[in-house]
Structure formats: C-alpha cells, structure tokens
Amino acid sequence: MNRLSTYLLVALAAILLLLPLWANSGLVFLTGTTIIVAVFALSWNLLFGYAGLASFGSGGLFSIGAYTMAVMLRQGYEGQFLLLIVLATLAGGVVAFAIGFVALRRSTGIFLAILTLALAELLRITLAKIHWLGAEDGIPSIVRPTFSIGFATVDLSRGNSYYWFVCIACALLVGLTWWIAHGRFGRTLRTIRLDVERAAFMGVDTHRYRLVAFTISGAIAACAGALFAPWAQIVTPDIGNMMRSTQPILFTLLGGASSFWGPLIGAFLFSAIEFSTRTLVGIQEIITGGILLAVVLMFPTGVAGAWNALIAGLSARPEPAKAAPALQPVKE
Amino acid sequence: MLEASRINAFYGGSHILHGVDLSVPALGRVAVIGRNGAGKSTLLKSIMNAGPTVNGEVSWEGRSIAGLPTFKRARLGLQLVPEDRRIYQHLTVRENIQMAAYATTPGRRPIPVQDIVDRFPMLQPIAERGGGQISGGQQQMVAIARAIACRPRLLLLDEPTEGLAPAIVEQLAVSVRELCDAEEAALLLCEQNIWFARQITDTVLVMDTGRITFRGSWPEFDNNPEIKQRHLAV
Amino acid sequence: MTIIRLSSVDKSYGSLKVLHGVDAEISEGETFAIIGPNGAGKTTLFKVMTGEIGCEAGSVEFLGKDVTRDPAYKRTRAGMGRTFQVARVFKEMTAEENLIVAVEARLQNTGKSDAPWYAVKPSSATLDEVHSILVRLSLDKKARTPASELSHGDKKRLELGITLAGRPKVLMLDEPTAGMSPSDRVGVTELIRDISGKGSGLTVVMTEHDMGVIFGLADRIMVMNQGRKIAQGSIEEIRANPVVREVYLGKEAHHA
Amino acid sequence: MRLNRRHFLTTTAAGIGALAMPGILRAAQGDTVRIGLITTLSGPGQLYGNYIKDGSEIAVERLNAAGGVNGSKIELVVRDDKNSPEGAVTAFRELTGDGIKLFAQGTFTANLLGTLPLLEEADVTMMMVGASALALTHEAYNPRAFRLGFSSPMCFGGYGNLMAQKHPEIEKWAMLRSDVTALADITNAFSNGLKAEKVKAGRTVEILDPVLVPYGGADFRNQISNIIGSGAPGLFNVLQGADAISYYKQARTFGLDQKFKVLCDSANEFAIAKAMGANTPASLWSWTGWYPAANKDNAVSDEVHKAYIKLRGDEYPNWYIGVSHDSILTIANAVQKAGSMEAAKLIPTIETEAPQGALGKIHFRKEDHGFAGDLTYIRFGRDDKNANGWSVFETAQLPGAEFLERATPGSKLN
Amino acid sequence: MFTLVNGLTTGMAVFLVAAGLTLVFGIMRILNFAHGAFFMIGAYVASSLVGSAPRSVLALIAAAVVAALVVGVLGIVVQRFILRRIQHVDEHYMLIATFAVMLVCVGFVKLVWGLEFLSVDPPPGIDAGVEIAGLFIPSFSLFIIASGIVVFLVLDFVIHRAWAGKMITAIARDGWMAELLGINVPAGIMAAVGGSFALAGLAGGLLLPNQTLSPALGDSFLLLAFITVVIGGLGNVRGAFIAAILLGVIDGLNTMFLPAYPGVVVYFAMVAFLLLWPNGILGESRL
C-alpha cells in the first residue's frame, strides 16, 4: 500500500472513532452497522478473493452468529460477553466447516454459490418457524451488556460505548483478516484461486486449504453477526436473507475484489449512497441501481482498482491510454 | 493485393509490433519466420483486426480496411487459420466446414462441403465425427479445409506445423501448396519450421522483436547466414 | 532401481478409449521420453502418472508404493514434480512470489517450515533459496515482474523453477519446448541437461515433439500410437525401428 | 401511469432540498411541531407504507388548515424503514438526533420491535400505526407507545363471532393461510370467536386445521384442491396482498363460488375487488379498519375520504389511510391539550382524551395502550350492474372493546 | 394424480421463466439477476395491452408476443450499453451489473404502473376446467403445460437442429474464431441475448392470468428459476426442462405429504441434487 492510501486509512479510522462526538445519532448508528457489515464483507472476500470460492449464503452464517449472541444474552449470560463472542464465532466456524466438509469436495463455482444460497434460505425458513426464537418477529430488546474483565467493569449499555466497542472489535477482526490474508496461509490460498491444479502440483492439499478458508470466513462472518445483535438490539430471520448474502458480494465488487481493502471501501461507499439519498423516497431502487451501474461502468476494477491505477498513474510517467481489445486475445 | 504499412500493435500496455510494412501480391506466397514471441501471430491478428489494438494503414485491393471489424474482413476473403486451430467441438467435421459458408465473399459461392471433403482424403473417414474426437493433425486439416471452403483470396496460416508429427508435416506441405494453386489464393504463412515454409512459399520475411529484419527470396535468405544466426539462432 | 512402474493402464474418456493396457518402467536417474503422433495418448498417460486423472484399470507405482488412488498433491509430496504444456504460473504474482509460494509449500509439506506461524514475511532462508533459483533460471532481473508480463519462454522457465523448488525426485515435463523458438529450445534443453546431469540423481520423464530435443536428452524412448505402446528402447533402437519410422518419424532426416 | 408524476417530482424536489439544507438549519425551525413518520417506503411493504404516508399527510394538511397546534404548524418528517428493523432504528435515531419528540411508525411488527426499546432513552412518544401483532401491547409493551391498530383477537375474534351469528347453519369451516407464524394468531382468533358464539347458541362447529401455502409463492393449486376436497361449506382465508389475489384467481377456475357457501377474507378488503373487477368472487366478507361508507355520520371520516379522492382519485381508500390519519390527529390533539411535547405530559393526555377521528372516538385501554375502536366488516362481490364490475352488499359493525384480549402489559398473553 | 398435473403446471410455469435464464447463461456465462425483473416487465406490458379481461386466447398470446418483443428490445439495450462494455472484466461484475439493472427495473415498474395490485383474468375458453378421466383440471393449467412444452420444443429445435442455433453455439463457445470465419459476432450475441430476454417477456405474458401483478412479482419466480437452471445444468435447456418438471412434482408431493411445511422440500431437494450431481443432472453446457 502506498503512503497516500495509508494516510487516508488512518484519517478515516480517526473520523470513525470520533464520529459520535459530533454526528447525528442516526448517522452513528448507520456507521456502526456499516463497520460491522464491512467486516462481514471482508470475511466473504477472504473466501472469494483468496481461495476463489464464491458463497451466496454468507448471510446464513451472519445470522447464526447473531442468533447465538441474542439467545445467550436473553438467557442472561451478559457477564460473559467476550466469551459469548468467541462462542458465536465458533458456532459459525463449526457450521461452515460442516457445510464445507460435505460440499467443497464436490462443488465449486456457481454450484457452490447456489448450494450455499439454498442452505441459507433453509436456515431462514427454519428460524422463522421456531417459536422459541420469536419466529418471524425474531428476538427483540437485546441488551447491550455490562461485564467485568477482572480489574474493571465494562458497561456497553450507556451512550456510545458499544459503538466504540464495535470499532475496536472490528479493527481487531480487520487486523486478523489482514494477517491471514498476507501471511503464508494467504499466499498459498491465492495460488489456489489463481490456478488450483498448479497449486496441487506444488503439493498443496487444495481441498484442505479451501475447507480451512471456508471455516475461517464463516467464523468471522458469525463474529460480525454476534457484534451486530446487541448493536441493532433485535435479530429477525431476515437478518440472513438473500439481500444480506448479496451485501458482501456487492460491497466487494464495488470496492474491488483484488484489493484487501476493497470490501471496506465498497461498504462505506454504499452506505454513503443510501444515507445521502434517504429522503428521496419512492425512487430508492432507481437511484441505488443507477449509481451501482455507473460505478461498474466507470470503474470495472472496483473503486480500489481505480484508486490504485490513479496512484500508479500519478507516480509513474504518463503512458498513452490504450483501449481494451475488442475480443479476448487468446494467445499472445 | 494486401498492403500494410507502419503497423503498430499493442496488447494492453505492451507494444508488440513496431512499424511493420508488409505486402502480399495477388497469388503471392509469403512466409514470415522468426522465433517465438517475435510478433508473428500478432501480425496476422493485426491484419484481421482480431485481438491487438492496431494503428497503421491496412488496405485490401487498394481500399483501406482500417477500422473494419474482423468478420467484415473475413467476408472480403481474408481467412486466418489460427495456431490453435479452434475446431468447434460440438459440431461434426462436416458442420465445422459448413460454418465457413458464412464468410463467403459476396459474389463467390462457397465450395460445397462434399467437394471439400472429397479434396481432403484425410477428412473422408472422419467427416461425421465430432470436432472433439479427432487428433491434432486431423484438426489442422479440418481448420485449413474450413478456411478453404469459403474460397479465400488470401489464406493466413499461423504455425500450422506446431505440434504435428514430422510425417504429417510433409503431407501438410503438399496439401497446402496444391490447395492454394487450385483456389488461386494468396498465402501468408507464419512459421518456425523453415523446412516447411520453404516448401510452400517464395518470399520470406524475417521478424524479430516486432520488426521486419529481412525480406527477400529463399535463395537470398540462404545467402545471408548472418540473418539466420542473429534472428533465428538456427 | 525402478522409480515409476505403470502396469496395464486403461483409460477412457466417455466412449473413447485412449489408453490400452500401457506398461512402463522408469528407472531412477534416467531421462525417459514418451513420443508419438498427436492423439497417441502421451498427455493422458502423463496425467495418469501424475494423478491429475484416474484410470479404469491397471496401477501406478511410485518409489515402490502403489499410488494409483493418491491425488496429485500426495504424489507431488512424495517427489513428483510436473510442468505443463502451456506454462502455468500464478499470473497475478511476481516471479519471485511464484517461487516463494513454491518453496513454502515444500517446507510446509515436509514439516520443515522455518518461519514462525505468525510471520507475515517469508524467512530469509526461503528468500535465499528463491534467489538462487532465479539466478539459475536467469530470471533474477525479472524477479519483480508480474508473471503475466513475462515472455513465453520466461514463463516456461519460471514454471520449471516452481517445480524445482519442490525438490522433486522425478521431474515430469510435458512438452518442455512447445511453442519455443529454436534458440530457446537449445537453452531449455541445456537447462534440463544441467539439472538432470549425472550425480543429481534426478529422474526425468518427458513428452516432446522436437526430435532434436529428444535425441539430445533422452536415455530411453517409449513410442506410443493410438493409445498403445508400440516400441521402447534407446535412441538408436528407436531410429532403426521400421514401425516407428512409418507411423511417426517419417522422413525426419530432412528436417529434424 | 396514475402514480403521479407530479407527486414523484415534488417528493424528489423536496428530498433534494432537504439534502442541500444543512442539518443545523433544519433543526433550528423551532416554531413547528415536528412529527417523525417511519414507515416502509421501499421493497415489498411499500404499498402499505405509501398509504400510511398519504393518510398522515392528509392529516397534517387538515390540521394545518385548521390552524395547526396552538398556533404552530405541524411538519411531517418522513423516513423509510427500508423494510428492516435496523433501517427503522437508523431512521429513528436520526430523527431523535435531530430533536424530534413525536413519532408515528408502522407497519411491520419486527421494525417496531426494533425501535420500541429506544423510546425511553430518547424520551419520545410513539403512535404505532395499524400494527396488529399481540407482542406490541403484551411482552414488548412500552408505556410510551400506543397501538392505533386492531389486535388479532379483537378483529378476528369479532369476525368469527359475526360469522357464527350470520351463518349459524354452517358447521364446518376450512382455513387457508400463508406459512407465516405470526398469522397463526389470526386463524386462532377467528376459530375462538366462532366457537365461543356457537357454544353460546348451543351448537357445535368443526374447524379444520389451516392449510398452509408458501409465502410469496406463485402457485396455490395444490392447496386449493386440498381445501375444496375438505367439503367444508365455510372458508376463512388468511393470505395477504398479491398472494391472496393470485389465490382467488387460481381458485376461480376450480369454481370457488360454487364450492363454498361463505367465503371470508381476513383483511384484504377492496384490494381484491380493485384488482379482479368483474371476476371478483360472487360474495366475499372482509374485515376493514376503516370504511367511510360505514361511518356516514362521521364528518371527519367524510373529510378524509374527500381529501383522499382529491389526492389519488380513488373512491375506495385502504383502511391504513384512516388509521394513519387518526394517528397523527391523536398526537396533535394531545400536544394541543397538554401544551407540551414532553412524553411525561403527553402520555396521560392521550390516555384520557378521546378525540374524534375518521375511525370514530380514538381512545386507548389504559393498561396496555391498545386501541379499542369499532370493528367493521364488509361483504362485497361481483355485480354486473355496477360499472366497475363489483359492489359492496352489506356492512356490519361490532364494538371492539368487547373482543379485546386480556391486558397483560409486559408479559406474553396466554 | 391431481398433484402430478399440478406439479407439471408449476414446473412448466417455472420452465417458461427459467428457459431465458439458462440461455443467457449459455451465451454470456452470467447468472442474470435482472431476469425476474424482465419477466415482470413482460407481464406488465402484456397487461397494459389486454386490460384486465383478455378477449380470447389469441389476444393473450398476441400480447405475450408483443411483450416478448418489447422486453427483447430492452434486453438488446441492456446488452449494448451495459453488458457489452464490461464483458472483458471479471465476470462477477456482470453479476453486480445485472443486480443493478434489476433494481432500476423494479423502480421503473413502480413509477410507471404504481404499487397497486393488478390482475388479469384467463381469457374465455381457458378460464374454466375440464374433466379428464374423473379428474378436474383447470384448463388454464393445460394452457401453461402446453405453452411450456411448445416453448421447449421450439427452443430445442433452434439450438440443436437449426443453423441459427449452431451459429449461436459457435459464437458462445469461441466467438473469436466465429468472427474469423466471417460471422457477425456482436450482432449474433445481441440477437441471442435479445432472444433470451424476449423469452422472459413471453413468459411474463403467458403466465399473466396465473398470478397477481405487483412490483415484487419478479422475486416470486427468480429463486425457483435459479434453482431449476442450476439443477438442470447451467446453460442446458433440456436439463432445465427436466429439472422444472422434477421440482414441480416434488413441490406437489410436498403439499401432499408435508402440508405443514409448504415450499420447503424444494430446498432440500436442491441441496441433495447439487451434492449428487454437482454439475446438474444433464451437465453444464456452453449452449
């Protein structure tokens, strides 16, 4: 990452941290939601951009995390909040592992995408039928917990403290994801996306790597869901619906799948669009659709791709622009 | 018949051809030889406008065809047989050849498929087989037959001997020579196999890193060992 | 000592039978070439050996162990390294990164990984090894070039490097000079000879069309036609074999 | 094309204006009474959200024309809940952050459940528009919120009661409902009402288990053949919106009119007749929250009706128009009477006041803030003599308070 | 028995929608999210033409054909101005683009036709039922089944027998070579994409009397159509046909044996199918 981008990132982080001090509480709430779904999108891209697997059912894992957290808080375990986050994360990881174990050996690509979509829908329908989980209306009035960490008591129920908690937790998750993506494991994963057969001929057990990536991605998605439950203070089966599952895809592609930061950029961009057009009721779809189209047509490598190209263009000597070839050249 | 001057071609950011001039007279037989990556394939694709971004002047029978899309060039009678043959796997050999009827130059009727099959003895036993069930040598034959079927005025062959067993290469030389004579088609051949190129062409161009470094007849080429050494490293 | 043994291997694609009971024994340290006209089944046989595809009947033994059911990565770990007809490298990565992942994969597989689990950067030993491979392949000047921008010949070389980084016992080369200029062919031939030279103990199995390359490298040659082995022997034996001359070599004397 | 280019343009212009105006400026307009309206203005619920918006805007227009509240104009600030609880929460927090103290919100329960826990902290008063779910006045009861809507036991218990009275001869009822758990309240209430009245009359009645259909499905033929096969002469249908109309269409080819003596629809009222025209079933009962023709002696109802016809050119307003109008009216009336926008003063005012609304006197049960207005049922159907192909045959009204469920604020009703 | 006929009706209705979807996949390699929206536009266009009570079966079919043309032209516009511009970038951007097109289409329908429900009756002649071997069958069901079969047969003929199909297949599999042979590839793709979208419009018109028109209409079929297309083998029209019938019958059996869980078994079936035949029952097909 170049210096300018680093400065921007730091500046953005600072703005996010200081936001509650000056912004409208609706904007703060939206930003908190965006931070959480941005991490959720990041977990999806760990699978897509690094292991080359596209899941259309990530909303299901998000909702597993959210429901686990909601149920445990309702049962009165708020004192063990940190443990609950770990538990919800594990729950997502276990479910993802089970799905991956059965599905990954047999299907990848679009089939995996549709399979995960079907599983997520099944989960949603099932949740909507369980009275104990509030059926369609879900679990409301989730408390923002107060818990003790040995030497101090953390009270997240007051004011904006849960916002900052979300900021810190998500920063840790982003760091973790960055580390996974950029370390040896991430490097090997990338070879699997780029050429799975070649990777196998380096002795890489590609199936196992994919399974591990699927599990980690699912765990992070569930963790994001777990953070979301006390944030929204209500979970409903729709928390894992198809729109939720398309969210990370949209964010990632909008921001740029080839960049680690792409999903985050996409998430914030999308939220900014939604917030700035919130009063234009009745034509929301056309506005959102139109802006998406414009972005896709203008920056076909995502915003991060366009940004990197811009930086490269500024730092390198100018080169004559060249049109893309009319038809795919097959061999040079 | 074909005049190309100051052709520059690009793939993305890389500049492949640097001001190449080329002309093929009616009934001419021209070979472009050079090592891999010299830009031979790019030259053929540039003439067809099928891939690289090209600037420069290309004219066909005195009229500029710059900007003309590939399929229109094909309909003018330029037929490229690509290096990797590109036989349609889902169609039979016969249907593959039939497909070429779409490229017939206006005013010239396509050759009936049966005539083509009759003319290529190798194709007769496999005419009804699927394009995916024939060997590499047979595929090359089908690719050439397919190009011939639309009575091209200029046949552009890209490395037809690539990957073929030596015995097949000899047959191929004979077939190509006979076909071009019978159809009164000019020929532009890109090859690394000098033996093969020598069998079927009379003018030779040597290409190196996107530039033409030699042009002349085969005897002239033979008298120029330095060229062979420097650009072909034979 | 036999390093790879194929016993009566059959393979079909749908209704099309491409291998008919092929047997072969490859000895340790030799360079073994498989030749034959297009469609003879060379590449299929290759894939059966490396584990890319299975076979319906017969068995594959590697280092005295039956590996017929083992997937490709297990055979690779056991010591088979392979290159592809059209070089396959990781295009979005630089030449250097390509080799880093290859070296790391080997270290990981052999349990000798020297970088701590939390490290993001590869270890200095890994980087040193990568650089020595780059130098050996004359790619050191292009270490930071994305693989997608390398020339055809350089890609082939890089792929060979990826394979060598796995320190294979058997090097399996599928048409190592396909699509190369004559001068590049000479270079690659020399590189292979250098790598597999006496004392290296490396076994090489290759398919190739260029008889010049074959005759320059191979100790033994197997000739295939229509899914069957039709001959096997030294260069001289193959040259003299009338059947081989008829189906494959033709009048190669003219232009080999 | 009826959906109003003019309307759309003004909305857009207003929206762009609002965008351009800095938040501080907007917040500074202290001389207006601002009411936040949060409803569904995108996605599948938009149809109902638009009704709520229309009804609320009619109310604001009428109230302002009559001089506003204590001399101040009422300003409606509308936000989309994006069909999700978190969308509703975002909108709610934005508006409370802007200093708004008065809220009306509808229609989906889950979206209300999202905002209810926030009322305390923001110190605001809320009118829940048209919501029917029991949870809102029971386990999720919040003293700052009032339900201006009809609870399921009330309107469908009454419905069952009415049917038992009108058709004592029918001894077997079939029911059809979407596979949405919340709708089970409705079928339960209906069969309880039916049974209670039958027992009173000394008769017995057999009520079959509801046949379920997938929500948002496209094909209901299997289920239709199931209920027809049941042989019951009475049918209560709890499909909603597009599903219901698709079902009536598909059922028509099976001869629905001939197979059943009495057809009852839960709450789709005129949506069915408006869509199906001359193919409306011959006779169909439906509950409605507000039907101007049944409230003839109510001047407010007539005025709202007229205003709606002026706005949309539609003679048969959806009942949400009346309910949302009255929600705004109730808030405005309370502000006027209390002379304050503070929740502490407003809540007792609303509890005791009973202003005249389109629905009649608007008063709430003190214990759980549930609305206890009159219940209206209509019977309509195909009518070749009428130009639009259908007409309303009869209406029936019942006192809602008689059917109100037990008040158990703070805990689940069981 | 009735369940079977009904299943077939559901299946054919789904097939009508899925046919265009699988074709677009075959040609462009994209899962077209906007397909449901185009189906919906087709239905709305046709309803504007015939009003709420079509005068005859012919009038309905004519309206469906006009709807097909309109939607086909829309498809060509989308192809020309959106999809074609991004066909060289990562295929997933096509996904986002079609998603955006879907949003715009839904918004457009809301503006033009409003939010109120619209309903169109089956035309006289197919608005009642017939009794076959003691079985009551709505004649509109028969109309849907017949439409599905006719559309399938025509499509199958065009793709596998007619030269136009072979040419489109050639373009889909290797457009570069097709162009070298003199085939006007951009026009071919445009025509094929237009044709696939037109199928969505046709389905919208033919199924018009089957359900209610609302801006959410696109969603009700999209997921089922996706499932059908995937189970059948992407790009494979024959597969989609078989899968649609299977799904319809499975859904029918679902209501018969598990009435408490309507529409759920389809998902289980889908998961099972995908695990048993990961490439679809008839395999993926590049057309």
Domains defined for chain C, CATH in brackets? 2-88+171-181+201-255 (3.40.50.300)
Query: In this structure, what are the phi and psi dihedrals at residue A136, rounded to the nearest 5 degrees?
Result: -65, -30
Q: What is the pLDDT of residue C158?
A: 92
Q: What is the pLDDT of residue E145?
A: 92
Residue E275: band (very low, low, confident or very high) from pLDDT cuts 50, 70, 90:
confident
* Mean pLDDT along residues B129-136: 77
**Cross-chain CB nearest to E211 (options D218, D225, D253):** D218
Q: How many CA atoms lie within 13 A of C5 on its CB side?
A: 8
Query: In this structure, which amino acid lies at residue C203?
Result: T
Nearest to C227 by CA among C2, C3, C13, C4: C13
> Is C101–A191 a contact, with Cβ atoms under 8 angstroms apart?
yes
- CB under 8 Å to C194, separation ≥6 — which residues? none
Nearest to C255 by CA among C224, C187, C209, C221: C209
**Cross-chain CB nearest to B41 (options A324, A328, A331):** A331
Listing DSSP states for C10-69 in one string gives EEEETTEEEEEEEEEEEETT-EEEEE-STTSSHHHHHHHHHTSS--SEEEEEETTEE-TT
> What's the token pair of residue C208?
């190739």
Asked, for residue A321, whether it belongs to a domain, the answer is: no
Chain B residues with beta carbon closer than 8 angstroms to that of C186: 233
Nearest to E153 by CA among E232, E79, E241, E223: E241
For residue C179, pLDDT over 80 is answered with no
Quote the CA–CA distance of E243 and E253 in Å, as a whole number.
15
Selected from 3.40.50.2300, 3.40.50.2000, 2.40.50.140, 3.30.2080.10, the CATH number assigned to the domain covering D153-288+374-402 reads 3.40.50.2300
> Is D135–A138 a contact, with Cβ atoms under 8 angstroms apart?
no
Instruction: Give the E-state strand segments of B25-169 in sequence order.
Output: 29-33, 53-60, 63-64, 78-81, 154-158
- CB under 8 Å to B198, separation ≥6 — which residues? B31, B218
Listing DSSP states for A302-320 in one string gives HHHHHHHHHHHHHHSPP--
Quote the CA–CA distance of D303 and C156 in Å, as a whole number.
84
Q: What is the pLDDT of residue D22?
A: 43
Quote the CA–CA distance of D305 and D316 in Å, as a whole number.
8
- How far CA D27 is from CA of A218, D68, E16, in Å, comes to 43, 19, 54
Mean pLDDT (chain C) is 85
> What's the token pair of residue A218?
């699912």
For residue C251, pLDDT over 50 is answered with no
Q: What residue spans define the domains of chain D?
A: 30-150+298-361, 153-288+374-402
Listing DSSP states for A113-143 in one string gives HHHHHHHHHHHHHHHTT-GGGTGGG-B--PP
C77 and chain A: CB distance < 8 Å anywhere? yes
In sequence order, which ranges of chain E are alpha helices (DSSP H)? 2-28, 35-50, 57-78, 92-113, 139-160, 163-173, 175-180, 185-206, 217-232, 237-257, 265-276
Chain A residues with beta carbon closer than 8 angstroms to that of D117: 140-141, 233-234
Q: How many CB atoms lie within 10 A of CB D206?
A: 10
Q: B-contacting residues of A 261-320, CB under 8 Å?
A: 319
Q: Which stretch of A131-135, C200-204, D21-25, E78-82 has the lowest confidence by average pLDDT? A: D21-25
Which residues on chain E place their C-beta less than 8 Å from a C-beta of chain B? Answer: 166-167, 169-170, 173-174, 176-186
* Mean pLDDT along residues C49-71: 89
Query: In this structure, what are the phi and psi dihedrals at residue B57, rounded to the nearest 5 degrees?
Result: -110, 125
> Is D47–E214 a contact, with Cβ atoms under 8 angstroms apart?
yes
Q: What is the pLDDT of residue D18?
A: 46
Low-confidence residues of chain A, pLDDT below 70?
Answer: 1, 107, 315-332
Chain A residues with beta carbon closer than 8 angstroms to that of C162: 198, 202
Quote the CA–CA distance of A313 and B15 in Å, as a whole number.
18
Coil, strand, or helix at residue D288? Answer: strand
**Cross-chain CB nearest to A103 (options E97, E105, E275):** E275
**Cross-chain CB nearest to A331 (options B10, B49, B83):** B83
List beta partners, residue B203: B30, B217
Quote the CA–CA distance of C113 and C94 in Å, as a whole number.
22
A158 and chain D: CB distance < 8 Å anywhere? no
What kind of architecture, by CATH, is found in domain E2-276? Orthogonal Bundle (1.10)
pLDDT in tens, B84-98: 888 888 888 888 888
Residue B11: band (very low, low, confident or very high) from pLDDT cuts 50, 70, 90:
confident
Q: What is the pLDDT of residue E263?
A: 79
Chain E residues with beta carbon closer than 8 angstroms to that of B95: 166
Nearest to C81 by CA among C158, C166, C205: C166
Asked, for residue A118, whether it belongs to a domain, the answer is: yes
Quote the CA–CA distance of D257 and D163 in Å, as a whole number.
17
* D234-238/D262-265 β-pairing: parallel
Listing DSSP states for E61-124 in one string gives HHHHHHHHHHHHHHHHHHIIIIIGGGTTS-THHHHHHHHHHHHHHHHHHHHHH-SS-B--PPPT
Asked, for residue A257, whether it belongs to a domain, the answer is: no
**What CATH number should be reported for the domain whose range is D30-150+298-361?**
3.40.50.2300
Quote the CA–CA distance of D154 and D404 in Å, as a whole number.
5
Q: What is the pLDDT of residue A92?
A: 96
Chains E and D, touching by 3 or more CB pairs within 8 angstroms: yes
> Is D179–E263 a contact, with Cβ atoms under 8 angstroms apart?
yes
- pLDDT means per 10 residues, chain D with 414 residues, are 42 45 44 91 87 94 91 92 89 92 89 91 92 87 92 91 91 90 88 89 88 83 86 91 89 86 91 88 92 88 93 90 94 91 91 90 90 91 89 91 88 81
